[in-house]
Every structure is written in structure tokens, then in C-alpha cells.
Structure 1
Amino acid sequence: MSTITRRLLSSSSIIRSTALENTLPLDPSSPVHAKHLPRVLQRCIAKRINAIEQSTEDGSIPSTIHIHNPFLVQRTNRRSSESELTGEARYNWKKPAISNRRQKQLLQLHPSIDLPISAKSNRTSFASALGSESEELLEIEGISRPVRWNEKTTINWTGQLKPKKHQQKDVNEATTKSLYSGRKLMFKGHKDERNRAQKLADRQTRLDGMEKRIKDWRQGRNDEKIRNRPSLPF
């Protein structure tokens, strides 16, 4: 079987199983079974469990295992220097184990409520598609559901999605969101963009007395024509 055919069959089977099997209730504390997760998350969990088995002498596995959310960035160690702008502590960050492009593909094949929380997930639209009975999804937008690996083991995804800081808009003033809004350091921009304000001011200064200068020039031209007229009639 070719690679393309195998991918088509695997994708269709995932979509069919997702459409026929209802993985809800919407209680965020109720774990979702591991069989409803994509294979990449199943491999991530299995790799973590194998590492725990090898680290213990008797090979026992705890009932609850915490695994970092592969959809989110991970904060590692603290840096030695603090931020020059805010004075707050700085940390080193590790990129998500699963790229944003792959996250969007998984969210198209699986319900977002079953997957770990991601910046690419939109549970609000998923709740509206299910109807008014799924309004509870709006309250658990920033929570990842636990995973039931087997009858004795439960997986908890660690990591929290940072809420987006919406720009405060004045009700009386009509403000528009621009490229520079909310940035601590503005972009350098092109030279013509940086000099645009001064250029417009200089142009307006020259245009202020333009009508008077045109009138004086025309009057001077007419006076010169009169002076240059010959005195002879022929």
C-alpha cells in the first residue's frame, strides 16, 4: 500500500470514529480515553510511561502521571539577568514538541475538547456548533482534560495557556489596532515612513501662502508686459 493511500485510510478512519463516538460529557474532570487521542499523543504518553518504568526498580507506575502539554511552550530554567525594560525575571523557553501547523491539522481531525489545550484551538466555535446544551465548554476553555491510559493510570497535561491581553479601547475615541499597538519597542520602519510626518508638515507650510504668491506672480508678469510694450503704433 502506498503512503498516500495509507494516509487517506487512516484519516478517514479517524474522522469516522470521531463522528460516531461521543467522547463527551463536558465535565472537564472526566478523563477522555487514550484511544480517542491522535497517535502522536499516544506515542508521547507511552514514551513517558516507559521512562518511568525504567527509572523505578520494580517497574511500578503511579496512578497519576503529569506530562507537559506538547502543544504549549515550556519554561525551563531562570536566566541570570533580569529584563532591562520591566525589571522582571527572565526564563529560558522550550518550543512546543508539536508544531503549530501539526496542531491545526490535529484540531481538524479531532474534537478540541479531547485534545490538550492549544493556542490554535477554538472551543467557542465548537460549543456553538453543538448547540445551547454545550455552553459549559465556554467555561473550560483554558483547561486540558485528563487522559485515561488504562484502568489504573491517568495522565494529566501540565502547562497553562496564557490569556491574550486585549487592548483597552476608549469608548469615546475611535481607536484602530495598528502594527505598533501593544509593543514595548516600536519597529524601526522604512525611512520614508519615519520622515512622513515632517514631510507633510513642511508641505502644509509651503501651501499656506501659495495663493498670495500666485497672485503676486501674475501681477508682476502683467506689469512687466505693460512696461515692455513698444511706444510706437507700428
Structure 2
Amino acid sequence: MSNLAAARVIKNFRLKQLLRVESHIRQLGPLSDHTIPALEPGSKTAVLPNPFIPRKTLTSKKWKPPVYSLRQQVELVKKAKAAGLLHLLPPGPKNPIPSTDVKEAIKGIQETPNSMSLGTLKHQLKDNKKDKSLWMNPVAWEGRISTRKVRGRELGITLYAGKKRMFKGHKWERARRLKMKKRQMVLKSMERRIHNFKNYYRRRRPDPLKPPRTSKSPKLPF
């Protein structure tokens, strides 16, 4: 996918989130005061619900899964990185919270006169004005994000981060060590075992073509 197509996907994502605030409030209730990045009192920056995190409904008191699944979040993050628009996506499990320096930069952008309220943004979008930079206006994403520090994630080791052991392997791989140990123990006395086996049958059946001396089933010497 080209950078232009990736930027178009991020643009559609932002416009969709800007136009679905009413339905979100109607289903899940009013937005909370917790936003990322943190806003100062009286800020005119638009606040949007974070579609990357689960939410608790006010009526049923049950948790509702995020609007975008983890697979969809990964695809959006990849396209945003390709287009250089990662700062326009909300933070989530696949898009961690930016560092302090980035937060301060975003906060500085939001305090500029270009920042406008959500009502003004939506009004201009519905009027179909041709200002292509409306969808890039800074917003604050509402919702609490649970951050859990996992060793190895900062190094890019995401597959086995926080796990006590690596891939468990196949069954034959797990039993191979014990199997080889038993095999080595048997091989140490293999010459003696072969000698006992041959002499045992030689004593009982000197001539294999003749009938056995007894009808009882013989017992092996090992």
C-alpha cells in the first residue's frame, strides 16, 4: 500500500470518529474527564472516545469490547507509520502512550489558536467545506488505558515478552532429553545384554528345529 493510500485510510478513520460522538454518548453515556493527553481547564480541544479500549455501559454495567479489534488496530498502526501519521491515532494496546516529550509537543499544538471545539469541527465537516486539514486537527482521546510494563517489550521482543518460558515445542522435542538419557544407559551394557540373550536361548533351545522341552512360556532374562 502506498503512502497516499495509507494516509487516506487514517483520514477516513479520523472523520468517522469525529462524526460518531453522538451515537457513542447515546449508547455508553457522557464522556469522562480523563483524557490523553491531559487537557487544561477551559481548553477548546475536541475530545473523542478512544475506540481502541473497552468500555463499560451505564445501563447493563457490562464491558463492551473496543470498536476496533487488535488485528484492526495493528493494521491501522502499520498504515499510520507508513504515512507518518502515527500521532493521529489514539493510544491503545498496539499503539502505546507516547513519551513525555511527544506529549508536551502535542500539548503545545493543542494550545495553538488553530485548535477548535468538537462542535465547530463537526459543523465544518457537515458543511462539506474543502479545508483538507480539518481531520488533522489535534484531539484528546477519552478513556483510561491500563499500562503494564513488560520486560523485553522496549527491545521489540513482543512475542515472548513477560512469559516464563519460550515455545513449549512438540511432544517429541520435550521427551527427547529423557529418551536420549535412557538410550545411553542401555547402550553402556548392550554387549552384556546381547551375550545373555543369545546364551539364554542357546541353553533352552540348542536346536531350534526340535520341539521345546517344556510347554511353559519362557521368561526373558532382562
Which structure shows the bigger proportion of residues in strand conformation? 1
TM class by shorter chain equals 0.3 to 0.5
Question: Relative contact order (C-alpha < 8 Å, sep 6+): which is higher?
Answer: 2
Please give the TM-score of this superposition, normalised by the length of structure 1. 0.40
Please give the TM-score of this superposition, normalised by the length of structure 2. 0.42
